[in-house]
Amino acid sequence: MAYSLTPLTQTSKTESAATEHPSGSLPVLLALLLGMGLLALGVILPLRALYFYQAFPGSRLEHWLLLPTHLLFPHQPLISPRHPLDAQALHNANAPLNWRDLLLFWGGLALICLLYLLALRALPSLISYRFILLSTTFLGFTLVLYPALTSQDVFSYITYARIGVIYHLNPLTTLPIAISRDPIYQYIFWTTQPSAYGPTWIACTSLLQWLALELHHNSVWGMVLLLRLFGLAMHLGATAMLWSCSGLALLPQEGPSSRLHLTRLTVTLALAWNPLLLLEACVNAHNDATILFLILLACWSLLHWRRSQWLPWLFAATLFLALAACLKITFIVIFPGLLLFLLAHDERRSLWQRLQLPATVLLVYIGSIVLLYWPFWHHGAVLRLLRVNPSASMARNTPYEFLVHLYATIAGIRLIQLDLNTGSYPEIVAHSIATLLFVLAYGGLCLYTLRRPASIRRLSALFGWMALAWLLFCFVGSTWFWPWYLVSWLGLSLLALVSDQSWQSLLHSRAFAITLALTAFCMLSIYAGYVWGMERTGLPFFPGLQ
Protein backbone atom coordinates (compact mmCIF):
# COMPACT_ATOMS: atom_id res chain seq x y z
CA MET A 1 0.00 0.00 0.00
CA ALA A 2 1.31 3.44 -0.85
CA TYR A 3 1.25 5.94 1.98
CA SER A 4 0.14 9.49 1.28
CA LEU A 5 2.55 11.75 3.15
CA THR A 6 2.48 15.49 3.52
CA PRO A 7 5.75 17.46 3.15
CA LEU A 8 8.36 17.16 5.86
CA THR A 9 7.97 20.84 6.66
CA GLN A 10 4.43 20.34 7.95
CA THR A 11 3.96 22.04 11.29
CA SER A 12 3.42 20.34 14.60
CA LYS A 13 -0.02 21.98 14.79
CA THR A 14 -1.21 19.98 11.78
CA GLU A 15 0.34 16.85 13.25
CA SER A 16 -1.41 17.43 16.57
CA ALA A 17 -4.75 17.78 14.84
CA ALA A 18 -4.21 14.51 13.01
CA THR A 19 -3.38 12.86 16.31
CA GLU A 20 -6.79 13.62 17.72
CA HIS A 21 -9.03 12.55 14.82
CA PRO A 22 -8.63 9.29 12.87
CA SER A 23 -9.66 9.40 9.20
CA GLY A 24 -12.58 7.42 7.79
CA SER A 25 -14.38 4.32 9.00
CA LEU A 26 -11.72 1.76 8.04
CA PRO A 27 -9.88 1.93 11.42
CA VAL A 28 -13.12 1.33 13.35
CA LEU A 29 -14.11 -1.47 10.98
CA LEU A 30 -10.77 -3.27 11.37
CA ALA A 31 -10.87 -2.86 15.15
CA LEU A 32 -14.35 -4.41 15.21
CA LEU A 33 -13.30 -7.22 12.88
CA LEU A 34 -10.27 -7.98 15.04
CA GLY A 35 -12.51 -7.94 18.11
CA MET A 36 -14.89 -10.40 16.42
CA GLY A 37 -11.93 -12.61 15.46
CA LEU A 38 -10.76 -12.62 19.08
CA LEU A 39 -14.31 -13.49 20.22
CA ALA A 40 -14.36 -16.40 17.74
CA LEU A 41 -11.07 -17.69 19.13
CA GLY A 42 -12.45 -17.34 22.66
CA VAL A 43 -15.39 -19.59 21.72
CA ILE A 44 -13.01 -22.27 20.36
CA LEU A 45 -10.52 -22.40 23.25
CA PRO A 46 -12.87 -24.13 25.76
CA LEU A 47 -13.09 -27.30 23.62
CA ARG A 48 -11.66 -30.02 25.82
CA ALA A 49 -9.58 -31.64 23.07
CA LEU A 50 -7.40 -28.52 22.98
CA TYR A 51 -6.12 -29.28 26.50
CA PHE A 52 -6.61 -25.81 27.99
CA TYR A 53 -7.87 -24.59 31.38
CA GLN A 54 -10.94 -22.95 32.86
CA ALA A 55 -10.30 -19.30 33.63
CA PHE A 56 -12.94 -18.75 36.32
CA PRO A 57 -13.42 -22.15 37.99
CA GLY A 58 -16.26 -22.47 40.44
CA SER A 59 -18.05 -19.28 39.39
CA ARG A 60 -21.35 -18.49 37.70
CA LEU A 61 -19.40 -16.15 35.43
CA GLU A 62 -17.68 -19.18 33.87
CA HIS A 63 -21.08 -20.78 33.21
CA TRP A 64 -22.34 -17.72 31.33
CA LEU A 65 -19.12 -17.26 29.38
CA LEU A 66 -19.22 -20.88 28.19
CA LEU A 67 -22.75 -20.57 26.79
CA PRO A 68 -21.63 -19.52 23.25
CA THR A 69 -19.37 -22.58 23.05
CA HIS A 70 -22.22 -24.82 24.26
CA LEU A 71 -24.51 -23.38 21.59
CA LEU A 72 -22.02 -23.67 18.71
CA PHE A 73 -20.62 -27.05 19.75
CA PRO A 74 -23.52 -28.98 21.33
CA HIS A 75 -22.70 -32.34 22.92
CA GLN A 76 -18.97 -31.47 22.67
CA PRO A 77 -16.99 -31.93 25.93
CA LEU A 78 -15.58 -28.68 27.27
CA ILE A 79 -12.73 -27.86 29.63
CA SER A 80 -12.85 -29.30 33.11
CA PRO A 81 -12.71 -27.04 36.17
CA ARG A 82 -9.79 -29.11 37.41
CA HIS A 83 -6.32 -29.31 35.93
CA PRO A 84 -6.40 -31.36 32.68
CA LEU A 85 -3.80 -33.76 34.08
CA ASP A 86 -6.44 -34.87 36.58
CA ALA A 87 -8.84 -35.86 33.80
CA GLN A 88 -9.03 -39.63 33.44
CA ALA A 89 -9.59 -39.37 29.70
CA LEU A 90 -6.25 -37.65 29.22
CA HIS A 91 -4.41 -40.74 30.40
CA ASN A 92 -6.29 -42.95 27.97
CA ALA A 93 -3.64 -44.10 25.48
CA ASN A 94 -6.33 -44.37 22.78
CA ALA A 95 -7.48 -40.76 23.08
CA PRO A 96 -8.06 -39.64 19.49
CA LEU A 97 -6.43 -36.66 17.85
CA ASN A 98 -9.34 -34.32 17.10
CA TRP A 99 -8.24 -32.67 13.87
CA ARG A 100 -11.41 -30.58 13.58
CA ASP A 101 -10.81 -28.81 16.89
CA LEU A 102 -7.12 -28.41 16.10
CA LEU A 103 -7.87 -26.85 12.69
CA LEU A 104 -10.46 -24.56 14.28
CA PHE A 105 -7.83 -23.37 16.74
CA TRP A 106 -5.26 -22.77 14.00
CA GLY A 107 -7.92 -21.07 11.87
CA GLY A 108 -8.81 -18.70 14.72
CA LEU A 109 -5.15 -17.80 15.21
CA ALA A 110 -4.64 -17.32 11.47
CA LEU A 111 -7.68 -15.03 11.29
CA ILE A 112 -6.55 -12.65 14.03
CA CYS A 113 -2.97 -12.60 12.73
CA LEU A 114 -4.23 -11.84 9.20
CA LEU A 115 -6.35 -8.96 10.51
CA TYR A 116 -3.31 -7.71 12.44
CA LEU A 117 -1.27 -7.83 9.22
CA LEU A 118 -3.95 -5.86 7.34
CA ALA A 119 -4.06 -3.28 10.14
CA LEU A 120 -0.30 -2.71 10.01
CA ARG A 121 -0.44 -2.20 6.25
CA ALA A 122 -3.57 -0.05 6.04
CA LEU A 123 -4.08 1.91 9.26
CA PRO A 124 -0.98 3.92 10.33
CA SER A 125 -1.78 6.85 8.01
CA LEU A 126 -5.44 6.86 9.06
CA ILE A 127 -5.34 6.65 12.84
CA SER A 128 -4.32 8.62 15.91
CA TYR A 129 -2.57 7.74 19.15
CA ARG A 130 -5.85 8.17 21.01
CA PHE A 131 -7.51 5.68 18.66
CA ILE A 132 -4.76 3.13 19.36
CA LEU A 133 -5.28 3.43 23.12
CA LEU A 134 -9.09 3.23 22.93
CA SER A 135 -9.15 0.34 20.46
CA THR A 136 -6.52 -1.59 22.44
CA THR A 137 -8.61 -1.13 25.59
CA PHE A 138 -11.63 -2.51 23.72
CA LEU A 139 -9.67 -5.52 22.45
CA GLY A 140 -8.17 -6.07 25.90
CA PHE A 141 -11.55 -6.16 27.65
CA THR A 142 -12.71 -8.68 25.04
CA LEU A 143 -9.81 -10.95 26.02
CA VAL A 144 -10.19 -10.40 29.77
CA LEU A 145 -13.54 -12.23 29.61
CA TYR A 146 -12.19 -15.33 27.85
CA PRO A 147 -13.55 -18.44 29.63
CA ALA A 148 -10.32 -20.37 28.97
CA LEU A 149 -6.60 -20.07 29.61
CA THR A 150 -3.86 -21.50 27.41
CA SER A 151 -1.48 -21.53 30.39
CA GLN A 152 -2.18 -22.21 34.06
CA ASP A 153 0.62 -19.98 35.36
CA VAL A 154 -1.95 -17.50 36.64
CA PHE A 155 -3.01 -20.05 39.27
CA SER A 156 0.60 -20.29 40.45
CA TYR A 157 0.70 -16.49 40.73
CA ILE A 158 -2.41 -16.61 42.92
CA THR A 159 -0.97 -19.42 45.03
CA TYR A 160 2.18 -17.50 45.96
CA ALA A 161 0.15 -14.34 46.63
CA ARG A 162 -2.11 -16.28 49.01
CA ILE A 163 0.92 -17.85 50.70
CA GLY A 164 2.21 -14.38 51.52
CA VAL A 165 -0.96 -12.40 52.22
CA ILE A 166 -3.30 -14.96 53.79
CA TYR A 167 -0.88 -17.41 55.41
CA HIS A 168 1.95 -14.92 56.14
CA LEU A 169 4.63 -17.29 54.80
CA ASN A 170 7.60 -16.59 52.52
CA PRO A 171 6.49 -17.23 48.90
CA LEU A 172 10.10 -17.60 47.73
CA THR A 173 10.82 -20.48 50.12
CA THR A 174 7.42 -22.03 50.94
CA LEU A 175 6.13 -24.93 48.82
CA PRO A 176 2.49 -24.72 47.69
CA ILE A 177 1.88 -28.12 49.26
CA ALA A 178 2.03 -26.31 52.61
CA ILE A 179 -1.39 -24.81 51.83
CA SER A 180 -2.92 -27.96 50.32
CA ARG A 181 -6.27 -27.21 52.01
CA ASP A 182 -6.58 -23.88 50.20
CA PRO A 183 -9.10 -23.74 47.31
CA ILE A 184 -6.36 -22.72 44.85
CA TYR A 185 -4.35 -25.91 45.39
CA GLN A 186 -6.47 -28.11 43.11
CA TYR A 187 -5.76 -25.89 40.09
CA ILE A 188 -1.94 -25.78 40.18
CA PHE A 189 0.59 -28.16 38.68
CA TRP A 190 3.87 -27.15 40.37
CA THR A 191 3.00 -28.13 43.94
CA THR A 192 6.55 -28.71 45.22
CA GLN A 193 8.25 -25.61 43.88
CA PRO A 194 8.52 -22.19 45.57
CA SER A 195 7.85 -19.08 43.54
CA ALA A 196 10.02 -18.89 40.42
CA TYR A 197 9.43 -15.15 40.37
CA GLY A 198 11.17 -12.58 42.51
CA PRO A 199 10.13 -9.84 44.94
CA THR A 200 8.81 -7.49 42.25
CA TRP A 201 6.11 -9.92 41.15
CA ILE A 202 5.38 -11.03 44.71
CA ALA A 203 4.72 -7.37 45.58
CA CYS A 204 2.38 -6.90 42.59
CA THR A 205 0.34 -10.07 43.18
CA SER A 206 0.23 -9.57 46.95
CA LEU A 207 -1.14 -6.08 46.44
CA LEU A 208 -3.87 -7.47 44.18
CA GLN A 209 -4.66 -10.23 46.69
CA TRP A 210 -4.90 -7.64 49.47
CA LEU A 211 -7.23 -5.57 47.29
CA ALA A 212 -9.42 -8.62 46.66
CA LEU A 213 -9.65 -9.28 50.40
CA GLU A 214 -10.51 -5.62 51.06
CA LEU A 215 -13.35 -6.00 48.54
CA HIS A 216 -14.49 -9.09 50.51
CA HIS A 217 -13.72 -11.34 47.57
CA ASN A 218 -11.58 -14.34 48.47
CA SER A 219 -12.39 -16.51 45.46
CA VAL A 220 -9.93 -17.86 42.91
CA TRP A 221 -11.80 -16.47 39.91
CA GLY A 222 -11.82 -12.96 41.37
CA MET A 223 -8.03 -12.95 41.48
CA VAL A 224 -7.88 -14.27 37.89
CA LEU A 225 -10.00 -11.32 36.81
CA LEU A 226 -7.83 -8.85 38.75
CA LEU A 227 -4.62 -10.28 37.28
CA ARG A 228 -6.04 -10.10 33.76
CA LEU A 229 -7.04 -6.47 34.28
CA PHE A 230 -3.56 -5.79 35.67
CA GLY A 231 -2.05 -7.42 32.57
CA LEU A 232 -4.19 -5.17 30.36
CA ALA A 233 -3.03 -2.12 32.34
CA MET A 234 0.60 -3.17 31.88
CA HIS A 235 0.07 -3.69 28.14
CA LEU A 236 -1.49 -0.24 27.81
CA GLY A 237 1.37 1.17 29.88
CA ALA A 238 3.93 -0.44 27.57
CA THR A 239 2.07 1.01 24.58
CA ALA A 240 2.17 4.49 26.12
CA MET A 241 5.86 4.07 26.95
CA LEU A 242 6.72 3.04 23.39
CA TRP A 243 4.84 6.06 22.03
CA SER A 244 6.66 8.39 24.40
CA CYS A 245 10.05 6.75 23.80
CA SER A 246 9.65 6.98 20.03
CA GLY A 247 8.89 10.70 20.36
CA LEU A 248 11.96 11.28 22.52
CA ALA A 249 14.14 9.27 20.13
CA LEU A 250 12.91 10.88 16.91
CA LEU A 251 12.04 14.51 17.60
CA PRO A 252 15.56 15.63 18.69
CA GLN A 253 16.87 14.40 15.33
CA GLU A 254 14.43 16.35 13.16
CA GLY A 255 11.64 18.81 13.61
CA PRO A 256 8.04 17.55 13.73
CA SER A 257 7.11 15.96 10.41
CA SER A 258 4.42 13.80 8.93
CA ARG A 259 6.94 11.05 8.21
CA LEU A 260 8.13 10.78 11.80
CA HIS A 261 4.58 10.92 13.09
CA LEU A 262 3.63 8.05 10.79
CA THR A 263 6.64 6.09 12.02
CA ARG A 264 5.56 6.52 15.65
CA LEU A 265 2.00 5.44 14.87
CA THR A 266 3.21 2.36 12.96
CA VAL A 267 5.46 1.08 15.74
CA THR A 268 2.90 1.85 18.48
CA LEU A 269 0.13 0.03 16.61
CA ALA A 270 2.51 -2.89 15.99
CA LEU A 271 2.93 -3.30 19.74
CA ALA A 272 -0.60 -2.46 20.88
CA TRP A 273 -2.50 -4.81 18.55
CA ASN A 274 0.03 -7.65 18.48
CA PRO A 275 -2.01 -10.84 19.09
CA LEU A 276 0.79 -12.54 21.05
CA LEU A 277 1.20 -9.61 23.43
CA LEU A 278 -2.56 -9.16 23.84
CA LEU A 279 -3.26 -12.82 24.55
CA GLU A 280 -0.40 -13.26 27.01
CA ALA A 281 -1.21 -10.04 28.90
CA CYS A 282 -5.03 -10.18 28.99
CA VAL A 283 -5.81 -13.93 28.83
CA ASN A 284 -2.93 -15.71 30.55
CA ALA A 285 -2.02 -12.61 32.62
CA HIS A 286 1.66 -13.44 32.24
CA ASN A 287 4.06 -11.20 34.10
CA ASP A 288 6.12 -10.63 30.95
CA ALA A 289 3.76 -7.74 30.18
CA THR A 290 4.92 -6.14 33.44
CA ILE A 291 8.56 -6.87 32.58
CA LEU A 292 8.15 -5.17 29.20
CA PHE A 293 6.60 -2.13 30.88
CA LEU A 294 9.53 -1.88 33.33
CA ILE A 295 12.12 -2.26 30.55
CA LEU A 296 10.46 0.38 28.39
CA LEU A 297 10.25 2.62 31.46
CA ALA A 298 14.01 2.17 31.85
CA CYS A 299 14.54 3.04 28.17
CA TRP A 300 12.32 6.11 28.58
CA SER A 301 14.49 7.23 31.52
CA LEU A 302 17.65 6.69 29.46
CA LEU A 303 16.28 8.84 26.66
CA HIS A 304 15.62 11.62 29.17
CA TRP A 305 19.12 11.22 30.62
CA ARG A 306 20.71 11.38 27.18
CA ARG A 307 18.94 14.70 26.53
CA SER A 308 19.57 16.37 29.91
CA GLN A 309 22.60 14.47 31.31
CA TRP A 310 20.85 14.62 34.70
CA LEU A 311 22.15 11.60 36.65
CA PRO A 312 18.90 10.79 38.53
CA TRP A 313 17.41 9.75 35.18
CA LEU A 314 20.24 7.25 34.72
CA PHE A 315 19.81 5.86 38.24
CA ALA A 316 16.05 5.60 37.67
CA ALA A 317 16.72 3.51 34.55
CA THR A 318 19.05 1.30 36.57
CA LEU A 319 16.37 0.82 39.24
CA PHE A 320 13.74 -0.15 36.66
CA LEU A 321 16.11 -2.74 35.15
CA ALA A 322 16.75 -4.09 38.66
CA LEU A 323 12.99 -4.35 39.24
CA ALA A 324 12.68 -6.33 35.99
CA ALA A 325 15.49 -8.68 37.09
CA CYS A 326 13.79 -9.08 40.47
CA LEU A 327 10.68 -10.22 38.66
CA LYS A 328 12.51 -12.78 36.50
CA ILE A 329 16.17 -13.13 37.36
CA THR A 330 17.07 -14.22 33.81
CA PHE A 331 16.56 -10.63 32.64
CA ILE A 332 19.86 -9.82 34.28
CA VAL A 333 21.38 -10.66 30.87
CA ILE A 334 20.24 -7.34 29.37
CA PHE A 335 21.88 -5.14 32.03
CA PRO A 336 25.55 -5.45 30.91
CA GLY A 337 24.53 -3.67 27.73
CA LEU A 338 23.99 -0.50 29.77
CA LEU A 339 27.48 -0.80 31.26
CA LEU A 340 29.01 -1.25 27.81
CA PHE A 341 27.04 1.74 26.55
CA LEU A 342 28.34 3.93 29.40
CA LEU A 343 31.93 2.78 28.76
CA ALA A 344 31.61 3.79 25.11
CA HIS A 345 29.87 7.06 25.96
CA ASP A 346 32.89 9.38 25.90
CA GLU A 347 36.25 8.03 24.72
CA ARG A 348 37.96 11.40 25.15
CA ARG A 349 38.21 10.92 28.90
CA SER A 350 40.73 8.71 30.67
CA LEU A 351 39.91 5.07 31.39
CA TRP A 352 39.54 5.78 35.12
CA GLN A 353 37.04 8.57 34.46
CA ARG A 354 35.12 6.38 32.03
CA LEU A 355 34.89 3.57 34.61
CA GLN A 356 33.48 5.72 37.40
CA LEU A 357 29.94 6.08 36.04
CA PRO A 358 29.51 2.38 35.03
CA ALA A 359 30.87 1.33 38.44
CA THR A 360 28.36 3.59 40.22
CA VAL A 361 25.50 2.26 38.08
CA LEU A 362 26.61 -1.33 38.80
CA LEU A 363 26.59 -0.65 42.55
CA VAL A 364 23.09 0.86 42.33
CA TYR A 365 21.89 -2.17 40.34
CA ILE A 366 23.37 -4.78 42.68
CA GLY A 367 22.32 -2.83 45.77
CA SER A 368 18.73 -2.60 44.52
CA ILE A 369 18.55 -6.34 43.88
CA VAL A 370 20.03 -7.15 47.31
CA LEU A 371 17.60 -4.81 49.08
CA LEU A 372 14.61 -6.27 47.22
CA TYR A 373 15.58 -9.87 48.02
CA TRP A 374 16.65 -9.17 51.60
CA PRO A 375 13.19 -9.61 53.23
CA PHE A 376 12.81 -13.00 51.49
CA TRP A 377 16.36 -14.29 52.02
CA HIS A 378 15.47 -16.70 54.86
CA HIS A 379 19.09 -17.64 55.66
CA GLY A 380 19.81 -18.42 52.00
CA ALA A 381 16.84 -20.76 51.54
CA VAL A 382 15.73 -18.65 48.57
CA LEU A 383 18.66 -20.08 46.57
CA ARG A 384 16.93 -23.48 46.62
CA LEU A 385 14.93 -22.28 43.64
CA LEU A 386 18.04 -22.64 41.47
CA ARG A 387 17.85 -26.41 42.02
CA VAL A 388 14.10 -27.05 41.83
CA ASN A 389 13.14 -24.69 39.01
CA PRO A 390 12.06 -26.90 36.04
CA SER A 391 13.72 -24.56 33.56
CA ALA A 392 17.06 -25.44 35.18
CA SER A 393 16.97 -29.06 34.03
CA MET A 394 14.00 -29.77 31.73
CA ALA A 395 13.69 -29.31 27.96
CA ARG A 396 10.47 -27.94 26.47
CA ASN A 397 9.67 -26.32 23.11
CA THR A 398 13.30 -25.92 22.04
CA PRO A 399 15.71 -27.58 19.60
CA TYR A 400 17.27 -29.16 22.68
CA GLU A 401 14.03 -31.02 23.40
CA PHE A 402 13.97 -32.35 19.85
CA LEU A 403 17.57 -33.56 20.13
CA VAL A 404 16.91 -35.18 23.51
CA HIS A 405 13.93 -37.12 22.17
CA LEU A 406 15.76 -38.01 18.97
CA TYR A 407 18.64 -39.40 21.04
CA ALA A 408 16.23 -41.33 23.27
CA THR A 409 14.47 -42.80 20.22
CA ILE A 410 17.69 -43.88 18.50
CA ALA A 411 19.19 -45.25 21.73
CA GLY A 412 15.93 -46.98 22.63
CA ILE A 413 15.74 -45.55 26.14
CA ARG A 414 12.91 -43.99 28.13
CA LEU A 415 13.15 -40.45 29.44
CA ILE A 416 12.39 -40.68 33.15
CA GLN A 417 12.39 -37.56 35.32
CA LEU A 418 14.44 -37.78 38.50
CA ASP A 419 11.54 -36.10 40.32
CA LEU A 420 8.63 -33.76 39.61
CA ASN A 421 10.89 -30.69 39.31
CA THR A 422 13.97 -32.29 37.72
CA GLY A 423 14.33 -33.52 34.17
CA SER A 424 15.82 -36.76 32.90
CA TYR A 425 19.60 -37.26 32.60
CA PRO A 426 19.66 -36.46 28.84
CA GLU A 427 17.76 -33.24 29.56
CA ILE A 428 20.25 -32.29 32.29
CA VAL A 429 23.11 -32.87 29.83
CA ALA A 430 21.28 -30.76 27.22
CA HIS A 431 20.89 -27.97 29.78
CA SER A 432 24.64 -28.03 30.49
CA ILE A 433 25.39 -27.84 26.76
CA ALA A 434 22.94 -24.94 26.37
CA THR A 435 24.57 -23.08 29.25
CA LEU A 436 28.04 -23.54 27.72
CA LEU A 437 26.88 -22.39 24.27
CA PHE A 438 25.17 -19.35 25.75
CA VAL A 439 28.25 -18.37 27.78
CA LEU A 440 30.34 -18.54 24.59
CA ALA A 441 27.81 -16.63 22.46
CA TYR A 442 27.03 -14.02 25.11
CA GLY A 443 30.70 -13.58 25.99
CA GLY A 444 31.47 -13.14 22.29
CA LEU A 445 28.76 -10.47 22.02
CA CYS A 446 30.12 -8.58 25.03
CA LEU A 447 33.73 -8.84 23.80
CA TYR A 448 32.77 -7.67 20.32
CA THR A 449 30.94 -4.66 21.78
CA LEU A 450 33.82 -3.86 24.14
CA ARG A 451 36.36 -3.89 21.30
CA ARG A 452 34.10 -1.85 19.00
CA PRO A 453 32.55 0.82 21.23
CA ALA A 454 31.12 2.64 18.22
CA SER A 455 28.68 -0.27 17.80
CA ILE A 456 26.82 0.69 20.99
CA ARG A 457 27.41 4.42 21.27
CA ARG A 458 23.83 5.32 20.34
CA LEU A 459 20.78 4.47 22.44
CA SER A 460 19.16 2.75 19.47
CA ALA A 461 22.18 0.40 19.39
CA LEU A 462 21.81 -0.23 23.14
CA PHE A 463 18.14 -1.16 22.72
CA GLY A 464 19.07 -3.47 19.85
CA TRP A 465 21.85 -5.02 21.98
CA MET A 466 19.38 -5.76 24.78
CA ALA A 467 16.95 -7.34 22.32
CA LEU A 468 19.71 -9.51 20.85
CA ALA A 469 21.00 -10.55 24.30
CA TRP A 470 17.53 -11.72 25.34
CA LEU A 471 17.02 -13.52 22.03
CA LEU A 472 20.33 -15.34 22.55
CA PHE A 473 19.19 -16.47 25.97
CA CYS A 474 15.82 -17.70 24.67
CA PHE A 475 17.12 -19.70 21.71
CA VAL A 476 20.67 -20.62 22.73
CA GLY A 477 20.90 -20.53 26.52
CA SER A 478 17.54 -21.92 27.57
CA THR A 479 16.24 -25.45 27.13
CA TRP A 480 12.86 -24.24 28.42
CA PHE A 481 10.84 -21.92 26.16
CA TRP A 482 7.24 -20.68 26.00
CA PRO A 483 5.60 -18.14 23.68
CA TRP A 484 5.41 -15.33 26.24
CA TYR A 485 9.21 -15.23 26.49
CA LEU A 486 9.29 -13.16 23.27
CA VAL A 487 7.13 -10.35 24.68
CA SER A 488 10.12 -8.31 25.86
CA TRP A 489 12.09 -9.06 22.71
CA LEU A 490 9.28 -7.68 20.54
CA GLY A 491 9.07 -4.47 22.57
CA LEU A 492 12.81 -3.87 22.57
CA SER A 493 13.11 -4.66 18.87
CA LEU A 494 10.36 -2.19 17.95
CA LEU A 495 11.99 0.50 20.08
CA ALA A 496 15.39 -0.17 18.48
CA LEU A 497 13.88 0.08 14.99
CA VAL A 498 12.02 3.32 15.63
CA SER A 499 15.06 4.90 17.35
CA ASP A 500 17.41 4.23 14.43
CA GLN A 501 16.65 6.41 11.42
CA SER A 502 18.53 4.08 9.07
CA TRP A 503 15.92 1.39 9.77
CA GLN A 504 12.77 3.54 9.83
CA SER A 505 11.87 2.73 6.24
CA LEU A 506 11.58 -0.91 7.29
CA LEU A 507 8.59 -0.01 9.48
CA HIS A 508 6.55 0.77 6.35
CA SER A 509 7.59 -2.31 4.38
CA ARG A 510 5.61 -5.48 3.76
CA ALA A 511 8.41 -7.51 5.32
CA PHE A 512 7.97 -5.74 8.67
CA ALA A 513 4.23 -6.40 8.90
CA ILE A 514 4.47 -9.98 7.63
CA THR A 515 7.29 -10.80 10.06
CA LEU A 516 5.34 -9.54 13.08
CA ALA A 517 2.16 -11.38 12.05
CA LEU A 518 4.01 -14.64 11.37
CA THR A 519 5.93 -14.37 14.66
CA ALA A 520 2.67 -14.02 16.58
CA PHE A 521 1.08 -16.93 14.70
CA CYS A 522 4.07 -19.25 15.13
CA MET A 523 4.49 -18.51 18.84
CA LEU A 524 0.80 -18.98 19.63
CA SER A 525 0.74 -22.18 17.54
CA ILE A 526 3.07 -23.76 20.11
CA TYR A 527 -0.04 -24.37 22.20
CA ALA A 528 -1.37 -26.63 19.43
CA GLY A 529 1.34 -29.16 20.22
CA TYR A 530 -0.41 -30.06 23.46
CA VAL A 531 -3.81 -31.13 22.16
CA TRP A 532 -5.06 -34.57 23.19
CA GLY A 533 -3.61 -37.28 21.00
CA MET A 534 -1.00 -35.04 19.33
CA GLU A 535 1.53 -35.56 22.11
CA ARG A 536 1.03 -39.35 21.89
CA THR A 537 1.13 -39.66 18.10
CA GLY A 538 4.54 -40.88 16.97
CA LEU A 539 6.23 -40.05 13.67
CA PRO A 540 6.86 -42.83 11.10
CA PHE A 541 10.14 -44.67 11.79
CA PHE A 542 10.56 -42.58 14.98
CA PRO A 543 7.69 -43.61 17.27
CA GLY A 544 9.40 -41.91 20.22
CA LEU A 545 9.06 -38.50 18.56
CA GLN A 546 5.62 -36.90 18.92
Q: Is the pLDDT confidence value at 302 over 80?
A: yes
Percent of the chain with pLDDT over 90: 64
Q: What is the pLDDT of residue 378?
A: 82
**CA-CA distance, 293 to 238, in Å (whole number)?**
5
% helix, strand, coil for the chain, step of 5: 70, 0, 25
Total tally of structural domains belonging to the chain: 1
pLDDT band, very low/low/confident/very high, at 507 (cuts 50, 70, 90): confident
Region 517-542 average pLDDT: 81
Classify residue 6: in a domain, yes or no.
Answer: no
Q: Does residue 538 surpass a pLDDT of 50?
A: yes
Lowest mean pLDDT among 20-24, 83-87, 204-208, 486-490: 83-87
Evaluate if residue 111 carries a pLDDT over 80: yes
CB atoms closer than 10 angstroms to residue 21: 10
Residue 41 CA to residue 58 CA, distance in Å, equals 22
Question: Please, which pLDDT band fits residue 536 given cuts at 50, 70 and 90?
Answer: low
The verdict on residue 444 lying in a domain is: yes
Per-residue confidence band for 491, with pLDDT thresholds at 50, 70 and 90: very high
Instruction: Check residue 93 and give its pLDDT.
Output: 42
> Residue 198 domain-assigned?
no
pLDDT of residue 412: 83
Residue 194 included in any domain = no
Q: Does residue 76 fall inside a structural domain? A: yes
User: Per-residue pLDDT averaged across 338-363, rounded?
Assistant: 84
- Reported as a pLDDT band with limits 50, 70 and 90, residue 49 is confident
Q: Residue 436 — very low, low, confident or very high, per pLDDT cuts 50/70/90?
A: very high
How far apart, in Å, are the Cα atoms of 539 and each of 51, 115, 403, 543? 21, 34, 15, 5
Report how many helices (DSSP H) and strands (DSSP E) the chain contains, helices first: 21, 2
- Tell me, what's the pLDDT at 364? 96
Region 295-309 average pLDDT: 94
pLDDT of residue 331: 96
Chain-centroid distance, C-alpha 215: 29
Write b or e for each residue in 345-370: b if 16 or more Cβ atoms lie within 10 A of its Cβ, otherwise e. Answer: eeeeeeeeebeebbeebbebbeebbe
The residues, ordered by sequence, that sit 6+ positions from 190 with a Cβ below 8 Å of its Cβ are: 156, 176, 390, 420, 421
Q: How far apart are CA 55 and CA 52, in angstroms?
A: 9
* DSSP letters for 349-394: S-HHHHHHHHHHHHHHHHHHHHHHHGGG-GGGGGGGHHHH-GGGT-
Residue 474 has what pLDDT? Answer: 95
pLDDT at 428: 93
Rounded Cα distance, 486 and 483, in Å: 6
pLDDT at site 80: 74
For the chain, report the end-to-end CA distance as a whole number of angstroms. Answer: 42
pLDDT, one tens digit per residue, over 173-184 is 999 999 999 999
Q: Out of 76-90, 328-342, 514-528, which region has the weakest mean confidence (pLDDT)?
A: 76-90
| Domain-located, residue 105 | yes
Contact of 219 with 112, CB cutoff 8 Å = no
375-425: pLDDT as tens digits: 998 877 787 777 778 888 889 999 999 999 888 888 888 888 877 778 889
Cross-strand partners of 238: none
Buried b (16+ CB within 10 A) or exposed e, 438-453: beebbeebbeebeeee
pLDDT band at 313 (very low <50, low <70, confident <90, very high): very high
Question: Facing residues of 53 across strands?
Answer: 149
> String of b and e for 284-295 (b: at least 16 CB within 10 Å)?
bbbbbbbbbbbb
Tell me the residue type at 112: I
- Is the model's pLDDT at 541 over the cut of 90? no
Asked if the model's pLDDT at residue 350 lies above 90, the reply is no
The answer to whether residues 342 and 315 touch, using CB atoms and an 8 Å cutoff, is no
Give the pLDDT confidence of 231-279 residue by residue, as tens digits: 999 999 999 999 999 998 876 555 556 788 899 999 999 999 999 999 9
pLDDT score at 19: 47
Average pLDDT (215-237) is 94
Q: Which helix (H) or strand (E) holds 100?
A: helix 99-122
pLDDT band at residue 2, thresholds of 50, 70 and 90?
very low
pLDDT reading at 202 higher than 50: yes
Tell whether 343 is covered by a domain.
yes
Residue 76 has pLDDT above 90, yes or no: no
Q: Who contacts 213 (Cβ-Cβ below 8 Å, separation ≥6)?
A: 165, 166
Q: What is the structure's pLDDT at 413?
A: 85
- Flag whether 318 is in a domain: yes
Range of the domain at 529: 32-152+221-536
Averaged over 512-522, what is the pLDDT?
Answer: 95
Determine the pLDDT at residue 189: 85
pLDDT tens figures, 3-31: 333 332 333 444 444 445 556 799 999 99
